[in-house]
């Protein structure tokens, strides 16, 4: 057996073993150095929270307790049990029901008939009596909005066909959006105009806009038709043959969600003075904002829980960016999370905020910032009650200004009054 000989003068077996151990010690030391570097980075970051404080003034975060509390799971709370309903017509109610029940926040979809002249219509006589196939949607408005359901429904039908839907012909299969209030009617009309201008279709939308009529539930045979053991096979064959999915793929190949990609440019989808906002110089911001507002919005600080303006505010209205005035959150989506910060199930519109990875506490969090002013607002967590959608937007009051419903029109936020209809 050949053994490599080491001719180094004066070396002993003990020295050789020590030489073999050194790389392990060096690796351990390197790891310790890396940890110390991370800790130093953390201390440097947290120093932002305490720098420039007056003598005797408490730092915004005395320790990590408040910030860690922000990350804790929400305690059992009294949730908003309100359920809202709406009607949608998009052709065969089997398909409409199947599509809309996939939406988070939609609790139930029931197939039925509406608009006709007779009471208690049946599948055998609804068409001849002027009814249309419709779906009644029950949803939690704290999770999903009236408009988002309409957008999702629109993307899953042919809204340009005035005399039926795919292979099913006749007005009783055509599309219609129904409204309960004038605000909803205006919203629908604006939505149709927006899609006519920016959407993928080569002809105008033919969706009828109709005051909500009486809804008549269809026979039990038609409910959940797409997921029952035997009828599900027939449904899949029917849907594939109808051309519905091919049409959706052609017009919305990458985005069948409940929003429009073109709304990513918030300045084009929201008219208001905030769209012309130009961020002042840092020195000017310091003079315009209070100390806590400046540190939170510009230096990513976290205010103290239970010692802020809006954690227990129950007034009706919206919350806007303290710097730019851009609308962000609504009282209709606010809930008591038990954390001491204002918490929401969602923003008014998801395009109004941006998300960013945050590793300040050595644990990944998702930071939320305003889309226009780029103000730090807070973080989003996946720990809200399931019935509220499971998402908690944990915001800092110092980043927000509350505008009461009674003042919204005067202050230029009348567009958002639909939230309270």
Quick count: other Cβ atoms within 10 Å of Cβ 91? Answer: 25
CA of 33: how far to CAs of 23, 25, 199, in Å? Answer: 15, 12, 56
The pLDDT score that the predictor gives to residue 6 is 38
The DSSP bridge pattern shows strands 106-114 and 164-165 to be unpaired
Structure pTM? 0.67
Q: What is the pLDDT of residue 310?
A: 97
Please list the helix, strand and coil fractions of the chain in percent, rounded to the nearest 5, in that order: 35, 20, 45
Of 245, 230, 257, give the one whose Cα is nearest residue 92: 245
105 within 8 A of 389, measured Cβ to Cβ = yes
406 exposure class (CB count in 10 Å sphere: 0-12, 13-18, 19+): exposed
Establish whether 95 is a catalytic residue. Answer: no
User: Of 114, 187, 289, 394, which is the active-site residue?
Assistant: 394
Q: What are phi and psi of 147, to 5 degrees?
A: -65, -40
pLDDT in tens, 306-364: 999 999 999 999 999 999 999 999 999 999 999 999 999 999 988 899 999 988 878 88
Complete DSSP assignment for 1-43: ---PPP--TT--HHHHHHHHHHHHHHHHHHHHHHHHHHHHHHH
Q: What is the CATH number of domain 84-264?
A: 3.30.1060.10
Q: How far apart are alpha carbons 163 and 48 in whole angstroms? A: 64
pLDDT in tens, 115-151: 999 999 999 999 999 999 999 999 999 889 999 999 9
Distances (CA, A) of 394 to 133, 215, 306: 41, 39, 13
- Domain residue ranges of the chain, discontinuous segments joined by +: 84-264, 273-420
DSSP 379: E
Q: How far apart are CA 313 and CA 185, in angstroms?
A: 30
Q: Catalytic residue at 394?
A: yes
3-class secondary structure, 255: coil
Q: What's the confidence (pLDDT) of residue 204?
A: 97
Q: 164: burial class by Cβ within 10 Å (0-12, 13-18, 19+)?
A: middle
Supply the pLDDT for residue 271: 67
Chain-wide mean pLDDT for the chain?
83
| Low-confidence residues in the chain, pLDDT < 70 | 1-81, 264-271
- Please, are residues 389 and 140 in contact by the beta-carbon 8 Å criterion? yes
Instruction: Choose among 109, 338, 118: nearest CA to 227.
Output: 109
Longest CA–CA span in the chain (Å) reads 109
Catalytic-role residue among 92, 96, 151, 296: 92
With 0-12 CB in 10 A as exposed, 13-18 as middle and 19+ as buried, what is 144? buried
What is the reported pLDDT for 415? 85
How many helices (H) does the chain have, and how many strands (E)? 11, 17
pLDDT of residue 64: 46
Instruction: Supply angle C-alpha 272, 187, 192, rounded to 5.
Output: 105
Distance, CA of 296 to CA of 390 (rounded, Å): 26
What are residue 371's phi and psi, to 5 degrees?
Answer: -70, -35
**pLDDT, position 276:** 87
Q: Which CATH number fits domain 273-420: 2.120.10.80, 2.170.150.20, 1.10.10.10, 3.30.70.3270?
A: 2.170.150.20
Angle at 346 between CA 64 and CA 98, to 5 degrees: 135
């Amino acid at each position: 057996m050949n053994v490599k000989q080491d001719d180094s003068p004066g070396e002993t077996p003990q020295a050789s073993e020590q030489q073999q151990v050194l790389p392990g010690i060096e690796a351990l030391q390197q790891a310790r150095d890396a940890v110390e570097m991370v800790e130093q980075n953390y201390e440097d970051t947290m120093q932002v929270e305490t720098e420039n404080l007056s003598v005797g003034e408490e730092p915004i975060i005395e320790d990590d307790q408040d910030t860690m509390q922000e990350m804790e799971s929400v305690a059992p709370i009294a949730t908003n049990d309100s359920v809202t309903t709406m009607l949608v017509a998009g052709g065969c109610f089997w398909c409409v029901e199947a599509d809309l029940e996939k939406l988070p926040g939609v609790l139930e979809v029931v197939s039925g008939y509406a608009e006709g002249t007779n009471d208690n219509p049946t599948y055998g006589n609804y068409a001849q009596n002027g009814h249309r196939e419709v779906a009644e949607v029950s949803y939690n408005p704290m999770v999903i909005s009236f408009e988002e359901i309409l957008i999702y429904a629109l993307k899953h039908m042919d809204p340009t066909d005035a005399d039926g839907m795919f292979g099913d012909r006749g007005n009783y299969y055509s599309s219609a959006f129904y409204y309960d209030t004038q605000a909803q009617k205006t919203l629908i009309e604006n939505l149709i105009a927006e899609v006519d201008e920016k959407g993928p279709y080569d002809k105008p939308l033919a969706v009828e806009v109709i005051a909500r009529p009486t809804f008549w539930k269809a026979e039990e045979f038609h409910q959940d038709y797409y997921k029952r053991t035997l009828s599900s096979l027939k449904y899949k064959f029917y849907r594939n043959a109808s051309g519905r999915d091919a049409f959706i793929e052609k017009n919305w190949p990458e985005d069948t969600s409940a929003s429009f990609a073109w709304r990513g440019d918030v300045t084009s989808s929201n008219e208001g003075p905030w769209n012309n906002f130009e961020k002042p110089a840092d020195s000017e911001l310091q003079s315009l904002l209070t100390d806590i507002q400046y540190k939170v919005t510009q230096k990513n600080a976290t205010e103290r829980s239970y010692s802020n303006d809006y954690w227990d505010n129950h007034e009706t209205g919206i919350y806007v960016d303290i710097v730019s005035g851009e609308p962000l959150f609504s009282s209709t989506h606010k809930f008591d999370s038990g954390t001491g910060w204002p918490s929401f199930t969602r923003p008014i519109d998801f395009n109004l905020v941006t998300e960013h990875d945050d590793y300040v506490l050595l644990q990944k969090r998702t930071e939320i910032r305003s889309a226009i002013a780029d103000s730090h607002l807070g973080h989003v967590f996946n720990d809200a009650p399931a019935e509220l959608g499971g998402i908690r937007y944990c915001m800092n009051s110092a980043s927000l200004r509350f505008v009461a419903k009674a003042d919204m029109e005067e202050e230029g936020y009348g567009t958002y009054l639909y939230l309270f209809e």
